[in-house]
Amino acid sequence: MTLATVWFRSPDFVNALYIVAFTLFIIGLRGLTGPNTAVRGNKIAAVGMVIAVVATLLLGERQVHGETLPAIISGWSDVWLIVLGLVIGTAIGIPSAIKVKMTAVPQMVALFNGVGGGAVALISWSEYRHALESGGNPELQILIPTLFAAIIGSVSFWGSNIAFGKLQEILPGRPIQLPGQQFINLALLIISVGCAVLIATGRESEGLFIGILVSAALLGNLVVLPIGGADMPVVISLLNAFTGLSAAAAGIALQNTVLIVAGMIVGASGTILTNLMAVAMNRSVPSIIAGGFGGGTIATGGGDDDTEGKSVRSTSAQDVAIQLAFARLVVIVPGYGMAVAQAQHAVKELTRVLEGKGVEVRFGIHPVAGRMPGHMNVLLAEADVPYDQLKEMDDINPEFPRTDVVLVIGANDVTNPAAKDSPESPIYGMPILEVSNAGAVVVLKRSMGAGFAGIDNPLFYDEKTSLLFGDAKESVGEITAEVQSL
């Protein structure tokens, strides 16, 4: 009896394991939607993944579309190829996931998403090569999903890389536009789909297939480049859904249930999540993508003229300490600046000291503060700020009129009144934290630079506002020391 006929290598047994795997994905995903079950949910999904991968490695000889395929591991050369891939992937994946700073997590998600899309594109390319080697184009029910997976996978890979580059600030966060962008993007889309149609209607050419991959790659680059940094979380979420869809398409081509189910669940849930994020920013997904196509609003310095030449009022840690210590209610509005300065523990300490003086402290968390929804909650939770002190935007906005001092720590766009007052602003319509309703506003900033979206903020020129320049962590530390000495 050869290994290929052993019961645990039969397709039926492996398919049964696949069912267990995707059940665990669904249970895990549901766990991820609740704060108390999330950690366990992630682990359950990871167990599902291990089962799916091990099951696949077991798979023996099988029939797919009437063709007898060899076992997954049918010789030492397969073992070497697989081990090589797994070792390289592990050697890159583990350190990058463990060493990444919490502030850099969004771009890491973009990168991990990109490689997933890249894998799909490569799988479909090698599948097509295999089909050509063994006699020509496969039947349409394999060919069409393969072509679809190639286009979407390639777009997702390159789009995610650009998103990574923007968030990592290798590329400028502000929108980059080419002349005739709309025309170029449309042309690339037509070339890519056109090549796919040529292949689907009978042409057998690897060149055309590479044409699909390359034009989709350029499209992925050019669509994400003009999108402003502030919209990037939505874009990453959308590309995440794309990768899921391409995985499902690859699953149809390969007749593999776990790929179809897992890919489609991600495709569907990713779409919903993208929409939830866009709604939180009062942006619509089509308008963000339209921005990528050269239409819609492009973030320029809307309102530049108004603020040019106006002066800001800078203050000292001592003054801020006095303002805070004698306030009844202080609302802290954290943003990306708190994240990069790793100031969350210092902020927690300041909160503790202020509460010791009888000051009520709340945190106003904008849904998209930082670079990702929930970014601030994660950091503040790390510093042990009680969950009930963190208020969402809709809960904290009515509180501002009775707030004595708002302390804005490295947040910019989410407090920008231009989103309410100036229709020509690129972020016009985005709900903001209405901090200017408070008695006084203190903004901790590194410098007078504009925010991530590249838009000037009239809040800084408001007469209620004073600015304390410097590293957020040091500034907060100084303020805390001053409060203690009062």
Partner 1 sequence: MDLLTEIAILVLAAFVGFEVISKVPNTLHTPLMSGTNAIHGIVLVGALLVVSQASSTLSKVLLVVAVAFGTINVIGGFLVTDRMLSMFKRKPDPVKEEAPADEVES
CB of 212 to partner 1, least distance (A): 15
Indicate which single residue of 20, 122, 184, 481 sits in contact with partner 1 (rule: CB under 8 A): 122
Q: Does 314 bind partner 1 (CB under 8 A)?
A: no
Query: Near partner 1 by CB under 8 A, which window of 31-39, 175-183, 194-202, 304-312?
Result: 31-39
Q: Does 3 bind partner 1 (CB under 8 A)?
A: no
Indicate which single residue of 138, 165, 226, 263 sits in contact with partner 1 (rule: CB under 8 A): 263
Counting residues that bind partner 1 (by CB under 8 A) gives: 145
CB of 227 to partner 1, least distance (A): 15
Do residues 457 and 480 make contact, with C-beta atoms less than 8 angstroms apart? no
Q: What is the 3-state secondary structure (H, E, C) of 322-336?
A: HHHHCCCEEEEEECH
Residues 150-179 that bind partner 1 (CB under 8 A): 169
Round to whole Å and give the CA distance between 351 and 332: 9
With CA atoms as reference, report the closest residue to 256 among 22, 5, 70: 22
Indicate which single residue of 148, 164, 336, 460 sits in contact with partner 1 (rule: CB under 8 A): 336
The tokens describing 142, both together, are 């394999």
- DSSP annotation of 314 reads B
Q: How do beta strands 465-469 and 360-365 pair?
A: unpaired
The tokens describing 264, both together, are 């489609």
* Residues ≥6 apart with Cβ < 8 Å to 46: 28
Q: Does 268 bind partner 1 (CB under 8 A)?
A: yes
Query: Near partner 1 by CB under 8 A, which window of 220-228, 284-292, 293-301, 445-453?
Result: 445-453
Do residues 369 and 335 make contact, with C-beta atoms less than 8 angstroms apart? yes
CB of 4 to partner 1, least distance (A): 12
Q: Catalytic residue at 78?
A: no
Indicate which single residue of 307, 342, 389, 397 sits in contact with partner 1 (rule: CB under 8 A): 342
For residue 325, give the 3-state DSSP assignment.
helix
Indicate which single residue of 8, 183, 357, 384 sits in contact with partner 1 (rule: CB under 8 A): 384
What is the end-to-end Cα distance of the chain in Å, rounded?
85
Long-range contacts (CB closer than 8 Å, 24 or more residues apart) made by 22-26: 22/48, 22/52, 22/257, 22/258, 22/261, 22/262, 22/265, 23/48, 24/48, 24/51, 25/49, 25/261, 25/262, 25/265, 26/265
Round to whole Å and give the CA distance between 201 and 194: 11
CA-based Rg of the chain, rounded to a whole angstrom?
Answer: 26
Name residue, tokens 């290598």. 9
Do residues 215 and 191 make contact, with C-beta atoms less than 8 angstroms apart? yes
Query: Near partner 1 by CB under 8 A, which window of 25-33, 182-190, 288-296, 321-329?
Result: 25-33
Do residues 57 and 72 make contact, with C-beta atoms less than 8 angstroms apart? yes
Q: Does 16 bind partner 1 (CB under 8 A)?
A: no
- The residues pairing with 361 across neighbouring beta strands, listed in sequence order, are 330
Residues 172-231 that bind partner 1 (CB under 8 A): 229-230
Q: Which is nearer to partner 1, 125 or 400 (CB)?
A: 125
Q: Which is nearer to partner 1, 291 or 294 (CB)?
A: 291
Q: Does 147 bind partner 1 (CB under 8 A)?
A: no
Query: Near partner 1 by CB under 8 A, which window of 417-425, 426-434, 450-458, 477-485?
Result: 450-458
CB of 432 to partner 1, least distance (A): 13
Query: Near partner 1 by CB under 8 A, which window of 188-196, 248-256, 295-303, 460-468?
Result: 248-256
Q: Does 355 bind partner 1 (CB under 8 A)?
A: no
Distances (CA, A) of 146 to 190, 260, 431: 18, 13, 42
Round to whole Å and give the CA distance between 297 and 31: 37
Catalytic residue among 413, 421, 462, 471: 413
Q: Does 123 bind partner 1 (CB under 8 A)?
A: yes
Q: Does 46 bind partner 1 (CB under 8 A)?
A: yes
CB of 301 to partner 1, least distance (A): 15
Q: Does 442 bind partner 1 (CB under 8 A)?
A: no
Q: Which is nearer to partner 1, 275 or 284 (CB)?
A: 275
Round to whole Å and give the CA distance between 5 and 349: 65
Round to whole Å and give the CA distance between 341 and 332: 16
CB of 318 to partner 1, least distance (A): 22
Cα–chain center distance at 67: 40
Q: Does 261 bind partner 1 (CB under 8 A)?
A: yes
Query: Near partner 1 by CB under 8 A, which window of 124-132, 323-331, 431-439, 460-468?
Result: 124-132
Residues 54-73 that bind partner 1 (CB under 8 A): 56-57, 59, 69-73
Residues 406-435 that bind partner 1 (CB under 8 A): 410-413
Distances (CA, A) of 78 to 38, 61, 68, 81, 84: 37, 14, 17, 5, 10
User: Annotated catalytic sites, by residue?
Assistant: 413
